[in-house]
């Protein structure tokens, strides 16, 4: 239970409309664009840690609105839930990690082919292979 | 859980999978304010990190620092980290009391000689041989010296341990000093704040766990990853400062529109801390977001540096006029004013200005 979620709060969007970007959002978009350049030209992945950037809820929503939602939306259920969503910009991922109380642990924008946390671990894959093989042998 | 158990093993014991472990490392990187590109290296280091023994001493303090940590998130990375350290002595948290408690401290000191981490909150009174604060018949001064001898490193938690804090405020009746004023031969990291941000405390612990050493520090012995930038530089109201838009009173139009609180005495330009980005209460807010100027609680001697609402941050010239022509060069103006404010703060500290409740009405 997160007691703060129980408090009724109306968040007023004090920022300007999307066609008039605030300085904080503009700075992040430039950073994303720089990471895209690195990925397109040198296959260099990059991450932005949103938790370390100064943003108001209004600006946060503005950034989400601008980046939009793409085709992939994955949920990871370990240590609470994590959401890995590709934005409308291909190769730009919005990754959120929450704990068991739905409190935000970390939030990243990743510019990459696919975030590492989605990839299957080699050791665990080998274990899975063995498990299924043993099951099949038991039938 | 064995003290020789690695952090990865401890997490696996808690049912954490490989993806969960990576998530944990991602959270740690964010918590330690390290570049996200470090996540794979953190994961690699933590595979073999052995959980350290921690002895926590509380001296002249209000327990706010412990409250800050234990009342934070639950269960989160902070509590997970607390699960994987061996907290062998802590007045407030341990079950043992009296002689048994002191025995636990002595045992941990002997067993982990040269390896344990010593956390201290509260200042140390040294006037009249330190009689103003004693534990189990020992003065704080004696206990600190004894416990510091075998410590691998010391973390001063809160402004009192880091710089003397409130007990040291003028006229400092107990002769309160900081840990670094007494211990000169051990690595010390200060985590100031009144109270300090919990994630900063655990961030330093996590850094020690991950890399086996303390993080890089600034001139006041604070971890650069959390205290490297001023509140002002990370403040979401900074664009208003750059435009010269300031609240003049707590209820004027500027205040309602969320403009910069610089002219209301905000100490953001001279204060280094992570409040503006890490925030408080599960990331809900921080003082400036709630409409109050920063008090500068993570800076040395902030209690004696003048009024919270007037004092040294009020610039000698009209800021709106000074800043307006340099919107494009806002950072440069901020640095210049920051330097001027530091000088003014130092002057105020020297002069020991006295303020009354009348100051609060202005």
Asked whether residue B18 is domain-assigned, the answer is no
pTM (2 d.p.)? 0.72
Asked whether residue B32 is domain-assigned, the answer is no
Which positions in chain A touch B276 (Cβ < 8 Å)? Answer: 54
Whether residue B327 is found in the same domain as residue B347: yes
Q: Does B256 have pLDDT greater than 70?
A: yes
Asked whether residue B42 is domain-assigned, the answer is no
Boundaries of domain holding B275: 231-361
A to B CB pairs, distance under 8 Å: 98
pLDDT in tens, B175-228: 999 999 999 999 999 999 999 988 788 788 878 877 888 899 999 999 998 899
Which positions in chain A touch B75 (Cβ < 8 Å)? Answer: 99-101
Q: Which residue of A has its CA nearest to B199?
A: A105
Are B282 and A103 a contacting pair at CB < 8 A? Answer: yes
Model confidence at B40, in pLDDT bands (50, 70, 90)? Answer: confident
The radius of gyration of chain B's CA atoms, rounded to the nearest angstrom, is: 22
Beta bridge partners of B122: none
Total domains present in chain B: 2
Query: Which domain CATH number covers B137?
Result: 3.40.50.700
**Interface check B63 vs A, CB under 8 A:** no
CA dist., res. A83 & res. A90, Å (int) = 17
**Interface check B290 vs A, CB under 8 A:** no
Are A124 and B281 a contacting pair at CB < 8 A? Answer: no
ipTM for the whole complex? 0.73
The CATH number assigned to the domain with range A3-138 reads: 3.30.1370.140
Per-domain residue ranges of chain A: 3-138
The radius of gyration of chain A's CA atoms, rounded to the nearest angstrom, is: 19
Asked whether residue B254 is domain-assigned, the answer is yes
Cis before B195 (ω within 30): yes
Whether residue B223 is found in the same domain as residue B249: no
Whether residue B69 is found in the same domain as residue B211: yes
Which parts of B231-352 fold into alpha helices (H)? 231-234, 238-243, 253-256, 275-278, 319-323, 330-351
Which of B172, B207, B227 lies at the terminal end of a domain, its last residue?
B227
pLDDT in tens, B47-76: 777 777 889 999 999 999 988 877 655 445
pLDDT in tens, B105-157: 999 999 999 989 999 999 999 999 999 999 989 999 999 999 999 999 999 99
Whether residue B327 is found in the same domain as residue B183: no
Whether residue B192 is found in the same domain as residue B330: no
Residue with tokens 């200060």: B190
Whether residue B266 is found in the same domain as residue B244: yes
Whether residue B208 is found in the same domain as residue B254: no
Which positions in chain A touch B258 (Cβ < 8 Å)? Answer: 14
Whether residue B211 is found in the same domain as residue B235: no
Whether residue B211 is found in the same domain as residue B273: no
Which of B168, B202, B227 lies at the terminal end of a domain, its last residue?
B227
Whether residue B341 is found in the same domain as residue B210: no
Whether residue B186 is found in the same domain as residue B119: yes
Whether residue B140 is found in the same domain as residue B264: no
Query: Which domain CATH number covers B272?
Result: 4.10.480.10
**Interface check B224 vs A, CB under 8 A:** no
Asked whether residue B265 is domain-assigned, the answer is yes
Residues B7, B49 contacting (CB under 8 angstroms): yes
Q: Which of A101, A105, A122 to mutate to test the interface with B (most CBs of B within 10 A)?
A: A105
Which positions in chain A touch B30 (Cβ < 8 Å)? Answer: 49, 51-52, 105-108
């Amino acid at each position: 239970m997160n007691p703060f979620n129980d408090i009724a709060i109306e968040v007023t969007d004090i920022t300007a409309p999307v066609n008039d970007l605030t300085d904080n959002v503009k700075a992040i978009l430039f950073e994303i664009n720089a990471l895209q350049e690195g990925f397109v030209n040198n296959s260099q992945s990059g991450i932005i840690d949103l938790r370390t950037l100064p943003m108001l809820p209004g600006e946060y929503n503005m950034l989400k609105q601008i980046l939009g939602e793409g085709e992939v939306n994955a949920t990871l259920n370990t240590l609470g839930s994590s959401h890995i969503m590709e934005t409308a910009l291909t190769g730009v991922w919005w990754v959120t990690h929450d704990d068991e109380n739905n409190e935000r642990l970390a939030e990243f924008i990743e510019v990459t082919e696919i975030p590492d946390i989605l990839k299957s671990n080699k050791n665990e894959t080998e274990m899975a292979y063995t498990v299924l093989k043993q099951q099949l042998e038991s039938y | 859980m064995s003290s020789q158990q690695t952090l990865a093993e401890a997490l696996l014991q808690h049912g954490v999978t490989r993806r969960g472990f990576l998530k944990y490392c991602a959270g740690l990187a964010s918590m330690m304010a390290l570049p996200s590109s470090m996540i794979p290296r953190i994961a690699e280091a933590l595979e073999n990190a052995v959980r350290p023994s921690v002895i926590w001493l509380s001296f002249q303090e209000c327990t706010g620092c412990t409250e800050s940590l234990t009342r934070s998130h639950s269960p989160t990375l902070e509590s997970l980290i607390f699960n994987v350290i061996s907290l062998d002595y802590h007045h407030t948290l341990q079950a043992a009391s009296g002689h048994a408690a002191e025995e636990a401290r002595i045992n941990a000191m002997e067993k982990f000689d040269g390896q344990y981490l010593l956390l201290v909150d509260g200042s140390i009174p040294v006037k009249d041989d330190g009689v103003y604060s004693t534990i189990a018949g020992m003065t704080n001064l004696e206990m600190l010296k004894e416990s510091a001898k075998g410590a691998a490193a010391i973390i001063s938690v809160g402004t009192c341990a880091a710089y003397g804090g409130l007990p040291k405020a003028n006229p400092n009746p107990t002769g309160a000093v900081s840990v670094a004023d007494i211990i000169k031969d051990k690595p010390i990291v200060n985590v100031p704040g009144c109270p300090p941000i919990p994630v900063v405390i655990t961030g330093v612990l996590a850094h020690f766990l991950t890399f086996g050493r303390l993080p890089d520090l600034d001139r006041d012995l604070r971890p650069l990853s959390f205290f490297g930038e001023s509140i002002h530089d990370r403040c979401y109201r900074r664009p208003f400062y750059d435009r010269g838009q300031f609240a003049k009173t707590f209820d004027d139009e500027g205040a309602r529109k969320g403009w910069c609180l610089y002219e209301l005495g905000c100490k953001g330009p001279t204060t280094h801390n992570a409040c503006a980005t890490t925030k408080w209460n599960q990331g809900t807010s921080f003082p400036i977001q709630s409409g109050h100027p920063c008090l500068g609680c993570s800076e040395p001697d902030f209690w004696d540096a003048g009024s919270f609402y007037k004092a040294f941050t009020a610039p000698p010239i009209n800021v709106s006029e000074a800043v307006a022509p340099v919107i494009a060069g806002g950072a440069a103006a901020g640095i210049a004013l920051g330097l001027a404010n530091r000088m003014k703060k130092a002057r105020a500290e020297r002069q020991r200005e006295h303020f009354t409740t009348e100051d609060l009405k202005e």
